[in-house]
Amino acid sequence: MSKALVRTDFQFPGQEKVYHGKVRDVYTINNGWLVMVATDRISAFDVVLPEGIPYKGQMLNQIAAKFLDATTDICPNWKLASPDPMVTAGLQCTGFPVEMIVRGYLCGSAWRAYKSGVREICGITIPDGMRENQRFPEPIITPTTKAEQGLHDEDISKEEILKQGLVSETDYALLEKYALALFKRGTEIAAGRELILVDTKYEFGHRDGKIYLIDEIHTPDSSRYFYTEGYEERFRKGEPQKQLSKEFVREWLMDNGFQGKAGQAIPEMTPAIVQSISERYIELYEHITGETFIKEDTTDLLSRIEKNVLDYLTNN
Mean pLDDT for the stretch of residues 179-195: 96
In this model, does residue 245 exceed pLDDT 80?
A: no
Q: Identify the pLDDT of residue 71.
A: 97
Q: Which residues, including other chains, have CB under 8 Å from residue 274's CB and lie 6 or more apart?
A: 1, 4, 51, 52, 53, 54
Q: How many CA atoms lie within 13 A of 313 on its CB side?
A: 23
> Does residue 63 register a pLDDT over 90?
yes
For the segment 53-70, the average pLDDT, to the nearest whole number, is 96
Can you give the residue ranges of every domain in the chain? Answer: 96-203+216-244
Question: Coil, strand, or helix at residue 72?
Answer: coil
The predicted pLDDT at position 172 comes to 98
* Burial of 125 (C-beta count, 10 Å sphere; 0-12/13-18/19+): exposed
Looking at residue 152, its pLDDT comes to 61
What pLDDT is attached to residue 108? 87
Residue 2 has pLDDT above 80, yes or no: no
| DSSP per residue, 89-156 | EEE--EE-SEEEEEEEEE-HHHHHHHHTT--EETTEE--TT--TTEEEEEEEE--EE-PPTTS---B-
Supply the pLDDT for residue 147.
64
pLDDT > 90: what percent of the chain? 84
Would you say the C-alpha torsion 67, 70, 75, 76 has a positive or negative sign? positive
Read off the pLDDT of each residue in 66-88 and give the average, rounded to a whole number: 97
pLDDT single digits (tens) 246-302: 778 888 999 999 998 989 999 999 999 999 999 988 988 999 999 999 999 999 999
pLDDT of 148 reads: 59
What DSSP state is assigned to residue 50?
A: S
Q: What is the pLDDT of residue 217?
A: 95
**Residues β-bridged to residue 199:** 103, 224
Nearest alpha carbon to residue 144 among 162, 125, 158, 127? 158
Summarize the confidence of residues 25-37 as an average pLDDT.
Answer: 94
Q: Which residues contact 48 (CB under 8 A, 6 or more apart)?
A: 22, 23, 41, 42
- Is the confidence at residue 150, as pLDDT, over 70? no
Question: In whole angstroms, how far apart are CA 114 and each of 110, 192, 201?
Answer: 6, 31, 19
Please measure the distance between the N-terminal and C-terminal CA atoms of the chain and give it in whole angstroms: 36
Q: Please, which pLDDT band fits residue 82 given cuts at 50, 70 and 90?
A: very high
User: In this model, does residue 151 exceed pLDDT 80?
Assistant: no
Sign of CA dihedral 157, 211, 107, 273: negative
Fold topology of 96-203+216-244: D-amino Acid Aminotransferase; Chain A, domain 1 (3.30.470)
pLDDT bin (cut points 50, 70, 90) of residue 153 is confident
pLDDT in the model for residue 137 = 95
* DSSP string of 197-235, one letter each residue: EEEEEEEEEEETTEEEEES--S-TTTEEEEESTTHHHHH
pLDDT of residue 149: 52
**Residue partners of 132: CB distance under 8 A and separation at least 6:** 106, 107, 111, 115, 238
